Amino acid sequence: MTETAIPRRTLHDELVARLRRQIIEGALAPGDKINEKALCQTYAVSRTPLREALKVLAREGLVMLTPHRGAQVSMLTVEDMEEAFPVIGALEALAGELACQNATDAEITRIGELHGHMVAAHTDKDRARYFRLNQQIHEALAEAARNPTLTAMRQMLDGRVSRARYYANISAPRWDQTMDEHREILAAYQARDGARLGAVLKRHLANKLETLKSVLRAEDETTI
């Protein structure tokens, strides 16, 4: 992917978003040291806005800042994921229940459209497009919940969990299973069945956690 300079009027938010996306999608991998000079050149920014962006990502748990040693992409660990996933699972379940109560018909239709595009991305084996559509669906559900407090709490963990979601979509069987779960999500949402949607979303996150734990443990075994 060719990167370009960032328009100054959206410098901070755009810089945070681009760095976050690089981490989530693995362009900046767990454990990588962040080359500030190279990123400043890539994005045509000075070190001050870059370091401010890195502080935001550190608060999200995506980056580790060490005095006199700079920034490093946080490792994905089983312990961190076991801590974060049950919380985000509960938040997403609540968002689903509230969305069923508060969503407009147009919002439900929109998620159906996004789901259709996601099915096409899965068929094409386009993981990057699939993941972005997946994210849009989860974000749209949260928005339809009409609860700013819930949205703020969800956003605190979203970067960490989004990275794990992308990372866990490695195996074809798990990807197929995820699609089945999303069909259940759509059906429950279209029926405005909040209890069912909440349960499916919580199970969806729990299954993702188990897949990720298996991947991380297998990687640990190969390094022993």
Task: Classify domain 8-73 at the CATH class level.
Answer: mainly alpha
**More confident of the two residues 165 and 162:** 162
Q: How confident is the model at residue 165 (pLDDT cuts 50, 70, 90)?
A: confident
192 vs 108: CA distance, rounded Å: 9
Residue 96: Cβ within 10 Å count:
28
113-154 residue pLDDT tens: 999 999 999 999 998 899 889 999 999 999 999 999 999 899
**Helical residues (DSSP H) of the chain, grouped into ranges:** 11-24, 36-43, 47-59, 78-102, 105-123, 127-144, 148-168, 172-190, 194-223
> What architecture does CATH give domain 78-223?
Up-down Bundle (1.20)
Give me the residue spans of the domains in the chain: 8-73, 78-223
Of 179, 184, 212, 177, residue with least CA distance to 200: 184
- Residues 101, 194 contacting (CB under 8 angstroms): yes
66-101 residue pLDDT tens: 998 899 999 988 998 999 999 999 999 999 999 999
- The pLDDT > 90 percentage for the chain reads 67
